[in-house]
Every structure is written in C-alpha cells, then in structure tokens.
Amino acid sequence: MKIIIINSLDRWSMGWATDAESQRSVIQSLEQADIEVQITEVKSLSELNAFLAELNSEEVLLWPNAYDVYRDEKQRELVWMGEVIEAAGFAFIGSGSRTLKNVYNKQDCQKILIDNQLNVPRFNAFEKNDIDDLETILSHKNLLFPLFVKPNNLSTSKGITQDCITHDSHSLSKQLTSIGEQYGYPVLVEEFLPGRDITVAVFMTPEDPVILPTYYDINLYDNPNAVLDYDVRMRDWGDGKWLTVVTEAELLEKIKQALIPICKALNINDYTRIDCRLDSDGEVKAFDVNGLPGLEMPFSTTVWQMIVRMKDYPEQHAFDSLVALVVYCACHRNKISPPTKITELAESCIDLLKS
C-alpha cells in the first residue's frame, strides 16, 4: 500500500502536521506499518494538477496536509486542495472539501447544525456595522449575558483570551471591535457555556463511530469556568494544562448522542475532534468542529488524548495507534485493504476505546 502526503507551500500551519519534524513522526509510523510513503510539496494549482496527472488513481491513497494551495505563482489567491483531488478521482484521507469549507467557517458550521436541530450554542455573526445595533440584535437573537466572543475563521484558540467572556454590552462591544480589527469580520458571539471544556476525538470506524472524550484541566486560573485560551493552548502538557479522560457513564452517553449526529450532518470522514461544554441545563453543546486535527507528537491534543487514554502503553505506541486508526478508517471508506499491522493496531485501539 502507498500513501502520498501532499504539502502546500506556506499552508502547513493548519494541516495535520504543521512542520517537517512532526511529519517525520507520522511517516515513521506509516513505514513501520508496512506502508510505502511518498511526500511532495506543491507551490501552485498547476503544480498540483501536474503531479496528480502522473499518478494512477487506483494505486495510492492521498493525504492532503493543508486546506488550500496557491492558485498561481503570484500567491494572492487560494484554491481548496480537496476540490482538486476529488475532481481528479483520487482516494484520500480526511473529510471532503465541502465538509472542510463548512467547519472552517464557524458561522456556516453552526448554522448547518442548528438547521439540523443539533446541540450547539445560540449565536450570531457580527459584521462591523452591526455593533451599532448591538442590543437590538442580541434581543432579536435571544442572546443573554454572559456571552462568548471569538474569531470566525481561526483554529488552535487563536484570538481567545479570558476577556472573550463578556458580561455586559460595553465589554461585548469592546471585544467585538478588538477581535474584528485584529482578525477580521464577521466575529462570532455565542451563549457562554459554563461547564468544563471537553474535547472529543471521533473516529468514523467501519461499523459504528467511536469516541474519546477528555476534559481540559486548566490550573492557571481561579475561575472554574475559565476558557482554553491561546496562551494555555500553546503550552506543553503539564505546564498549566492537562487532559483527563471522561469516565462518567451518563455524560459519555450524552456526548455520544450529541456529537455523532453532528459528524453525520457535516459528512465527516475518518476522524475529527469536537470541542464542547455543558450548558446551564447540563446538556452537551458543541462549539467547534475541527477539519484537520493535528498529529504532532506529542503536542497535538488528540495525540495527548491517546497517550492519556493508553497510559499503560508507551507514548510511541499510543501515537502509532492513532495514525493507524486514521488510516484504517480511510482505507475502509475507500474500499482499500489496509496492511495487517494497520489493522491490528487500529482494531486493538477501537476495542480499548469501546471498553
């Protein structure tokens, strides 16, 4: 079996592996599982098309490591990489381009989920001119303080601070303006969920999806409702943040009932990670769905989720199991027979996650 990882010039930062070092860890895991690995980086749409034209679509599984690629050498416009790969008819790892577009834009993602009557916080996307009509819009949307403010098109908690929790119109207006000027409009405002941060890895396995829910434990703030801000997110594990596996049976069932329909509504392929909290009534509400969850060893959240869940195993085994599980899901979805080592690692991991 052969996997080709496609990198995109300057566009690694939101990919599965954000630099060459983290990608080497993934490659090593794949090669140890008897997978032939090829890596390429494309600088433009024409390079991507030329590369794909030379491949036999029946012999490879592509792993795009970016959302997009430059349209041309001027590097002023971007094209969704997944659209190009799909149009060329190749099997690939991860969600399709339509899904990635929807989850990348938080406003669009939440609207889809609300339209499907799924559990997400009430929200509104504010343009710059909307700030003048703040109280009217809040009333119309039934948005009551405290409210949470965040950028619409960013990941890894960029733009998130404790000031994003607002308790009155003045602080909300100030935060809307600050985030809008720094990261662009629209800016998302949603009901603040008071529960602990929970992040859930979801694997779309061949039979039923399996979940790995963990609490984010933050010990830097006195406030038990403190959010996972960018400063904490960028710290190493154990330096002010940790993950604890969710074990309460009732909560596990609530998470499963809330999040699996979200994955199906968005047409998630293979693997995602969803951030959620409990609202004031104890219901699980999802506020962020990841398109290309990171696989940096050992920094990325799901890598550490696996390490914590598989605490009786070496960290490298937990990482290898994660990589194997992602590939296993993609192989079965694309009707490709995975190598024996991938199957053994993945199915052992699935059994553990179900236990």
- For the chain, give every domain's residue range: 2-92, 122-191, 198-354
Q: What is the pLDDT of residue 353?
A: 97
CA–CA separation, 179 vs 186, rounded Å? 9
Query: Dihedral angle at the C-alpha atoms of 234, 77, 27, 338, nearest 10 degrees?
Result: 120
Per the confidence metrics, is the pTM higher than 0.85? Answer: yes
Radius of gyration of the chain (CA): 20
Residue 258: per-residue pLDDT: 97
Whether omega for the bond prior to residue 206 falls within 30 degrees of 0, making it cis, is no
CA 233 centroid distance within chain: 14
Sheet-wide strand order for 241-245: 241-245, 210-218, 198-203, 271-278, 284-289
Sign of CA dihedral 218, 233, 238, 24: positive
Model pLDDT, residue 156: 79
pLDDT on residue 14: 87
Please give the order of strands across the beta sheet that includes 91-92.
36-42, 2-8, 61-64, 91-92
Q: Are 285 and 193 in contact (CB under 8 A)?
A: yes
Predicted confidence pLDDT, tens digits, the chain (355 residues): 999 999 999 999 889 999 999 999 999 999 999 999 999 999 999 999 999 999 987 779 999 999 999 999 888 899 999 999 999 999 999 999 999 999 999 999 999 999 999 999 999 999 999 999 999 999 999 999 999 999 998 877 889 999 999 999 999 999 999 999 999 999 999 999 998 999 999 999 998 999 999 999 988 888 878 899 999 989 999 998 999 999 999 999 999 999 999 999 999 999 999 999 999 999 999 999 999 999 999 999 999 999 999 999 999 999 999 999 999 999 999 999 999 999 999 999 999 999 9
> CATH for 2-92, among 2.40.128, 2.60.40, 1.10.8, 3.40.50?
3.40.50
pLDDT, position 58: 77
Structure token digits, residue 71: 């349209």
Residue 242 exposed, middle or buried by CB count within 10 Å (0-12, 13-18, 19+): middle
Q: Which residue in 225, 283, 220, 230 sits closest to 257, CA to CA?
A: 283
CATH topology of domain 198-354: D-amino Acid Aminotransferase; Chain A, domain 1 (3.30.470)
Measuring CA to CA, how many Å separate 254 from each of 119, 120, 141? 11, 13, 26
Multiple choice CATH, 122-191, 3.90.1150.10, 3.30.2290.10, 3.30.1490.20, 3.90.1170.50:
3.30.1490.20
